[in-house]
Structure 1
């Protein structure tokens, strides 16, 4: 009879999901022992499941024998309708925006109280950018995040306001100040940030609408805004309007 392979009554699927769930933003690389501990599984069981997941491509073993999430899981994630559909629609407009600005261009959606980056084109300027495709960052400290937060339901805004934390010395952490800024974003149609997420990086972002709904945000990251702000805002708005028109034509339901 086989030995203990996990919690009593736990299915194979639950154990596999526990292994994958061991990874998060704070634990991007884990050893086999760490995976077993975080998944609450015996090491032999974790070893078998990790081996099968590695063979399938869900996990990848690094040279130091730590495991990271594999490309195949990311490929599956891109099949989610909101991500795959809007990425495909937005791609040519992002290319146009990059050509017009030569800046880093982001496409993002809201996921709970965070902003999820679903596409990115890297600009030519040397600007510290912490976002990556698939990464999640705070809504309140990023340009695309502020746009999405400004148009989020009241309960989402309240939840974000209750957990404001400084990321740089420029991060807005006063709820009243942030709330006023969100009202301005809704009125003027764009958001800006100045070194609020990363020192040395500023951003402009605008909403992408599908009819009356804000479904995503387009953002540009630059070293400084200065006199270029109106030009950057205008370029981003033209691109966002193009995405919105395509969405309304039925590219994304």
Structure 2
């Protein structure tokens, strides 16, 4: 049994995590503790291992060394309490599913495959759709939506899971400003509820100010903490090499 309740989220501890792709080292000896109640942005250049880190933490790819624990158990063994939204490029948008079908997938773990969804589950899914402003599209095919609308639907699916840990991989790619605002608003609300919210991002512009903490990565952990701590010239040079422009709030 874990030593925390559903309303008391424990930290996630990543210890000595290393991942190889054949002969290439994708991640090297990552050590970080992620506390609940913060919106965390995972940043780094292309090929830095950002998506790899998320997938390794969730047990979706094999690791060479290390472990990821949540409370007193491996994070990967508690997937029923984790919501994961992959990059849009990894999703088959031609699949003949409606918006409602996609959101209800967030209730499958609680209901079980081939079981009828309960009235409470349907209410939870409807509330999630309402929260992201997509209720009027519930009967629309998911492939017929814009990129921003699709991302909001998958956020609704994650909300319908009633998870305690949320992973979002590049959720702002190809979305409009309205959707970006909706996503950040809900991410912040989840963090305020004591959830763990990790977001892979590549934008070093003004949107970076929405994150409570930043995890800067380039195959190894460059730094982790507040924006002032992480966004230093030394760290940015280590991560990106040479000069890089980024937004810095006063």
**Structure 1 length-normalised TM:** 0.30
**Structure 2 length-normalised TM:** 0.30
Higher strand share: 2
